[in-house]
Amino acid sequence: MSSPLPSSPAASVLDLAPVVPVVVVDDLADAVPLARALVAGGLPAIEVTLRTPVALDAIRAIAGEVPGAVVGAGTVITPEQVGEVVAAGARFLVSPGWTDRLLEAMRGSGVPFLPGVSTTSEVVALLERGVREMKFFPAEAAGGTAYLRALSAPLPQARFCPTGGITPASAPDYLALPNVDCVGGSWMLPKDAIAGRDWGRVEALAREAAGLSAGGTCR
């Protein structure tokens, strides 16, 4: 049984968990056990970034073999990639930035999406186009919690999933903000655990991350 991501194209990936793991799969054999560990730890929304040659196959494998996983694609930067990842089984899309062409393709995909922003003007431009849910990237480098807090008063309708440089120590500060529903991160996927295929450790770290909350709960 798959995790409860609503079927509507307007549905939100921000509702699934306080943390969305950002996954880079180098070895295709790791994709399924890694995803199973994350789901077992309480993190069903899994963003597989398109940074390696096996990323599409990893999305396809997780979508087909991991009950409970809601696998999405990250680092989506072209309209062509949108079609490829949705065909592979991606149920949400995340981009580090956006253009009108990319936004049009994501809108037409039929799945939820989080276009990336790092400036106030980009946020306003997306709001003008009817998009309220965004990825704030690179979060720490772009101003962190102070920047997002400053945006909350003039632009309260914008909702964010900040990603980039977030740690277990800083995640609660982001999640306490009124305009942050979830954060993206990879701290529950330490390189030595992946190299050693220590899926029990990944599950334990995922469980700790799943215990975080946004303003009391990640809606």
CA neighbor of 61 nearest in space, from 84, 29, 39, 86: 29
Residue 157 DSSP SS3:
coil
What sections of 41-143 are H helices per DSSP?
A: 55-65, 79-88, 100-107, 120-128
Task: Tell me the C-alpha distance between 149 and 219, whole Å.
Answer: 18
CA angle, residues 115, 119, 123, in degrees to nearest 5: 50
Task: Give catalytic status of residue 84 as yes or no.
Answer: no
Task: Tell me the C-alpha distance between 104 and 89, whole Å.
Answer: 19
Of 133, 135, 140, 191, the active-site residue reads 135
Of 47, 65, 104, 140, the active-site residue reads 47
In degrees and rounded to multiples of 5, residue 90 shows phi and psi of: -65, 135
What sections of 51-189 are H helices per DSSP?
A: 55-65, 79-88, 100-107, 120-128, 144-152, 171-175
Task: Give catalytic status of residue 47 as yes or no.
Answer: yes
Which residues belong to the active site? 47, 135
